[in-house]
Amino acid sequence: MRTSKSAGGRPRESRVDTAIAAAVTGVLAESGYAALTVDAVAARAGVSKATIYRRFATKQEMTFAVVLHDLDEAPPADTGTLEGDLGALIERIGEQLSRSGSDVMTGLLADIRADATLTERFTTTYLAVERSVIGELLDRAIARGDLTRRPDPAITQALLLGPLFAWIVVLDEDPARAPELARIVARMVSDALAAGVVPADPS
């Protein structure tokens, strides 16, 4: 569980990193996850395959880094209410899922689950960061007096992330409605947390 960031935030990207990221995004948008190869990305980015392999051991690592590391790790600005804070966070998650789409997210997730190293990295650099941000929003709500106790962060994460994930990745519904769904989820979950429907943090 990572709770702090190195001073200065994310490392500055070089022009090559930017070109690789743009090429991955471009190939995915035009041809889908199955068509994403290191060859295709190298050609589109105007770099050699060796340049890519110096950065990423596999196609999956490259995709993971570009698609999921784009996550903004900072908690959203304090909106003054738990519902507002949760809404800002889920809307951001919904945007990220919508940008990738069902094909990329299902393909990438399958590759992650089939590889222990990527699973570990996914857990520590994506899911744990997201959970830590949720924890900060809950602590804000406690400090504000909106909540009287800290709810279980694992359950809270599933309640927040799940509906957006289902909408975009499983149900393949219209991403244009994701912001509306994010607002509904924020209202529903903040009501449930205030009503004590979610058990207390066991840790």
* Residue (42 or 161) nearer to a copy of itself, CB: 161
User: Least separation, in Å, of the C-beta of 16 and a copy of itself?
Assistant: 29
- The tally of CA atoms less than 13 A away on the side-chain side of residue 175 is 13
CB 30 within 8 A of CB 16: no
Amino acid in the structure at residue 62: M
Q: Which of 38, 71, 142, 184 binds a copy of itself (CB under 8 A)?
A: 184
User: Least separation, in Å, of the C-beta of 171 and a copy of itself?
Assistant: 6
Token pair, residue 152, equals: 């279980």
Torsions phi, psi of 200, nearest 5? -70, 155
Residues 88-117 within binding reach of a copy of itself (CB under 8 A): 102-103, 106-107, 109-114
* Binding of a copy of itself by 64 (CB under 8 A): no
CB 20 within 8 A of CB 52: yes
* Binding of a copy of itself by 127 (CB under 8 A): yes
Site string for a copy of itself, 140-169 (x = CB under 8 A): --------------xx-xxx-xxxxxxx-x
Residue with tokens 């289902």: 166
* Binding of a copy of itself by 185 (CB under 8 A): yes
Q: Cα(81)–Cα(98) distance, rounded to whole angstroms?
A: 26
Instruction: Look at the alpha carbons of 9, 82, 161, 157 in this order and tell me if their dihedral is positive or negative.
Output: positive
Give DSSP secondary structure letters for 51-86.
HHHHH-SSHHHHHHHHHHTT---SPPPP-SSHHHHH
User: Least separation, in Å, of the C-beta of 17 and a copy of itself?
Assistant: 27
User: Least separation, in Å, of the C-beta of 18 and a copy of itself?
Assistant: 28
Q: Cα(54)–Cα(48) distance, rounded to whole angstroms?
A: 10
Q: Which stretch binds a copy of itself (CB under 8 A): 1-9, 13-21, 47-55, 185-193?
A: 185-193
* Binding of a copy of itself by 197 (CB under 8 A): yes
User: Least separation, in Å, of the C-beta of 114 and a copy of itself?
Assistant: 5
The binding site for a copy of itself (CB under 8 A) comprises 32-34, 102-103, 106-107, 109-114, 119, 123, 127, 154-155, 157-159, 161-167, 169-173, 180-181, 184-185, 187-189, 191-192, 195, 197-199
